[in-house]
Amino acid sequence: MSMISERAEAAPPIGAVAGPHLIGYFLNWGLFGVLCVQVFLYYLAFPKDRKSMKLLVYFLLALDTVQTILITNDAFEKYGLEFSNPAGLSKMRNAWFSIPTISAINGTAVQLFFAYRIATLSGSKILGGFVALLAVTGGAGGLAAGVKSRIVNNLATIAVKARTELTIWLSISGACDVIIAVCMVVILSRKKTGFNTATDDAITRIIRLTVETGSLTAVLAIITVALFFGFPTRAYWNVPIDVLGKLYSNNLMVILNRRIKITDGRSSNSGGGGSHGGPQQTTSARSLEFSSRPHFNFHTNSGGGGGGRHGGGGIGSGGVDMPIKIRREVWEESVSDNGDVNIKMEDMPVDVGSQVGEDPRFPVRSHPPHPHANPHAYSYSPPPSGGGVV
């Protein structure tokens, strides 16, 4: 009787094994798509970031790409080649490397990034070193869990036989995420000025984002531990652990891409319109600009009314003899040690005849001047309908 009960306990319903793995694969694929979009935006927006920051981003993307390929191969073998074989669901295949090993490396890399930021912002190498020590310890636990999973080589019993290694990895990583969130909240709160509303609002947004991203991975790690302690023979815990590494990578990209500014959007308080009275929708961050800004074609105008000094017209037929002024975005940038980019943008009036031709974002069509034309009188042709990438 005892052997029958043990055998029944060792063979859970097939849905409790196959279903969680399938859901975990779906979520992992979806988060990989989100990560690709975020990395692409980072590539467009911040080409002047430090090389170490770029290497970290592309290193995580490479790891997550390898993970996605491996779990796709496992999913095809599990639900394709061995669809009618229930015993195939418990085979380890590449899961020992794709889940605990790669996820541990991802989490450690992201936590070390935050440890560096904490040390830089607080000026305390001891605090940053403590966070880094926790990150490395948790990562070592994840690597040990991967090795033990390879030795066990059975998904049905891994939650029991590798429980110690999995617990060390997930518990320390979750504690490290909580400590990072608390440290960032305390440090950034002290940076508030109390009189500069824009600066204080920006700091508040950073604090909220840090707490949200850090608490998400910490809660996920806690849920994973609770599931494999509560349901060791079920695969429920595979759902959160399958997406843990991708969440760490996406959290880092959210922090980096928060520097992208959307001006004149729904969340903007600034009003006003574009060059033709309508709203000018622009997403700006360093070299990234998707704009509906009109394209100007400037040329001398010798016709029109008789308002010019030489009889030449001004703008159109009104004969107003004055230079056209347009606005040019002037950028001032500074890169801090922790990779943040401080951008100050101003709109300055620009004389068409003297400076616009030097700005590659404003294409100028040159025409031979009329011998009696006023060199400071210009007109422009209306832009074509629709916007484009400037």
Condensed to tens digits (0 to 9), the pLDDT of residues 226-253 reads: 998 888 878 889 899 999 999 999 999 9
From CA 38, how far away is CA 252, in angstroms rounded?
A: 10
pLDDT of 15 > 90? The answer is: no
Q: Are 221 and 2 in contact (CB under 8 A)?
A: no
User: Does residue 82 lie within any of the structural domains?
Assistant: yes
Chosen domain end from 200, 225, 258:
258
Looking at the structure, tell me whether residues 287 and 254 fall in a common domain.
no
Looking at the structure, tell me whether residues 228 and 319 fall in a common domain.
no
Looking at the structure, tell me whether residues 248 and 349 fall in a common domain.
no
Chosen domain end from 224, 258, 292:
258
Give the residue from 18, 27, 122, 48 showing the smallest Cα distance to 285: 48
Q: What value does the CA radius of gyration of the chain take, rounded to a whole number of Å?
A: 29
User: Does residue 267 lie within any of the structural domains?
Assistant: no
Return all residues near 164 (Cβ < 8 A) that are at least 6 apart. none
Strand (E) or helix (H) holding 300 = strand 298-300
- Amino acid symbol at 191: K
Looking at the structure, tell me whether residues 253 and 376 fall in a common domain.
no
Average pLDDT score over the chain: 73
Return the bridge partners of 313, or none. Answer: none
For the stretch 296-350, pLDDT in tens is 333 334 444 444 444 444 333 343 333 444 444 444 444 455 555 454 444 444 4
Distance of CA 245 to the CA centre of its chain: 15
User: Does residue 274 lie within any of the structural domains?
Assistant: no
Chosen domain end from 242, 258, 274:
258
Tokens 């094994």, located at residue: 17
User: Does residue 249 lie within any of the structural domains?
Assistant: yes
212: left (phi over 0), alpha (psi -120 to 50) or beta: alpha
Q: Are 46 and 256 in contact (CB under 8 A)?
A: yes
Looking at the structure, tell me whether residues 168 and 300 fall in a common domain.
no
Across 32-44, average pLDDT: 96
pLDDT of 220 > 70? The answer is: yes
User: Does residue 338 lie within any of the structural domains?
Assistant: yes
Phi first, then psi: give them for residue 190, nearest 5 degrees: -75, -15
Structure tokens at 99: 């889940």
For the stretch 180-210, pLDDT in tens is 999 988 888 887 777 777 777 778 888 888 8
Give the residue from 138, 216, 129, 140 showing the smallest Cα distance to 172: 138
Structure tokens at 348: 């300055």
For the stretch 134-175, pLDDT in tens is 999 999 999 999 999 999 888 878 888 888 999 999 999 999
Looking at the structure, tell me whether residues 185 and 147 fall in a common domain.
yes
Structure tokens at 163: 């429980």
User: Does residue 305 lie within any of the structural domains?
Assistant: yes
Tokens 């599931």, located at residue: 227
Q: Domain of 94? A: 13-258
Looking at the structure, tell me whether residues 126 and 246 fall in a common domain.
yes
Looking at the structure, tell me whether residues 312 and 233 fall in a common domain.
no
From CA 98, how far away is CA 243, in angstroms rounded?
A: 11
Q: 223: domain CATH number?
A: 1.20.1070
User: Does residue 51 lie within any of the structural domains?
Assistant: yes
- pLDDT in the model for residue 7: 43
Strand (E) or helix (H) holding 201 = helix 197-230
- pLDDT in the model for residue 24: 93
Q: Are 60 and 202 in contact (CB under 8 A)?
A: no
Q: Are 301 and 373 in contact (CB under 8 A)?
A: yes
Across 272-284, average pLDDT: 39
Model confidence, pTM: 0.66
Q: How many domains does the chain have?
A: 2
For the chain, the farthest-separated pair of C-alpha atoms sits apart, in whole angstroms, at: 112
Looking at the structure, tell me whether residues 190 and 50 fall in a common domain.
yes
For the stretch 55-84, pLDDT in tens is 999 999 999 999 999 999 999 998 888 877
From CA 39, how far away is CA 319, in angstroms rounded?
A: 52
Looking at the structure, tell me whether residues 164 and 117 fall in a common domain.
yes
From CA 144, how far away is CA 166, in angstroms rounded?
A: 8
Give the residue from 163, 196, 184, 178 showing the smallest Cα distance to 121: 184
Looking at the structure, tell me whether residues 213 and 350 fall in a common domain.
no
For the stretch 68-127, pLDDT in tens is 999 999 999 988 888 778 777 778 889 999 999 999 999 999 999 999 999 998 889 999
User: Does residue 299 lie within any of the structural domains?
Assistant: yes
Looking at the structure, tell me whether residues 253 and 343 fall in a common domain.
no
